[in-house]
Amino acid sequence: MREIVLVKDDHDEGSLYVQYVTENQFNVYSKDENGFLVPVVLDAECHLSDTHPDHVIVRTDHHLY
């Protein structure tokens, strides 16, 4: 699992943890105040857009981003 640090400004940052599942599938977790991993996105797939080569599409069972 790899930690990703998100920074909004100089004083506000948070961490997400990305778990590689398969070639283009992953899970994302955050940690709660007790240090337990909480799922944010499960079984997400990542694809490149056919119409915009610089856009990445993230797809889950219920959403498309």
CA 33 to chain centre: 20
Rounded Cα gap, residues 51 and 65, in angstroms: 15
Rounded Cα gap, residues 30 and 13, in angstroms: 12
Confidence of residue 14 (pLDDT cuts 50, 70, 90): confident
* Mean pLDDT value across the chain: 86
Confidence of residue 61 (pLDDT cuts 50, 70, 90): confident
Q: Is the pLDDT of residue 44 over 90?
A: yes
Phi first, then psi: give them for residue 53, nearest 5 degrees: -65, -15
Rounded Cα gap, residues 54 and 48, in angstroms: 8
